[in-house]
Amino acid sequence: MSAPVFRAAVITVSDRVNARVYADKSGPLVVAGLTGFGFAIAGTAAVPDEAELISAALIEWSTQADLIVTTGGTGCAPRDVTPEATMRVIERPVPGIVEKMRIAGSEFEPRSWLSRGVAGLRGACLIVNFPGSPKGVSESLEAVGNLLVHAVGLAMGTNGH
């Protein structure tokens, strides 16, 4: 029996990407990385750095995907509100995922400790905030990619305890 295929959605949080001022570089890296870990991509979206819009996108995609990865909006700048928007919609936090990302990132970039990303479950959908930089995305995928597969399986009830 083959392993189940989990569905993932990728949301890029960026005023400039949403306005098409800049090309999205991080979202496609998340898509490629998750595909490499066996996820089917349910869809992608770009939203501005507005908490209400981020929360709405998370709620919408949580009914269509088993995993949502956001990229962007996790820093200390005034418009970095992805963690707050995520905390509004998650029901159960899973802090170890982003802790592992910060620890792994700090080996290459001391500023990774400033990432305020969060992770948690909304129903059976796992939501994880990745940093916005392509380098941060790559390091985060390397650090937690396999863990995401296992966590989603547990949330979906397909992995034994």
Q: What pLDDT does residue 3 have?
A: 59
Provide the phi-psi class of 56: left if phi over 0, else alpha when psi is between -120 and 50, else beta: alpha
pLDDT tens figures, 17-53: 999 999 999 999 999 999 999 999 999 999 999 999 9
Beta strand pairing call for 40-47 and 92-93: unpaired
Read off φ and ψ for residue 34, nearest 5 degrees.
Answer: -65, -35
Q: Closest Cα to residue 151, out of 28, 1, 8, 32?
A: 8
Q: Which pLDDT value is given to residue 158? A: 83
Residue 137 in this model has a pLDDT that exceeds 50: yes
Q: If DSSP codes are grouped into helix, strand and coil, which group holds residue 8?
A: strand
Q: pLDDT exceeding 90 applies to what percent of the chain?
A: 93
Spans of all domains in the chain: 10-156
Contacts of 50 (CB under 8 A, 6+ apart): 81
pTM for the whole structure = 0.95
Give the C-alpha separation, 97 to 102, whole Å: 9
- Alpha helix positions (H), the chain: 15-18, 26-36, 51-62, 82-89, 95-106, 134-156
Write out pLDDT tens, residues 49-73.
999 999 999 999 999 999 999 999 9
Q: What is the mean pLDDT of residues 88-114?
A: 95
Interval 139-161: pLDDT, tens: 999 999 999 999 999 999 887 54
Inter-residue contact 118 to 83 (CB < 8 Å): yes
Which class is domain 10-156? alpha beta
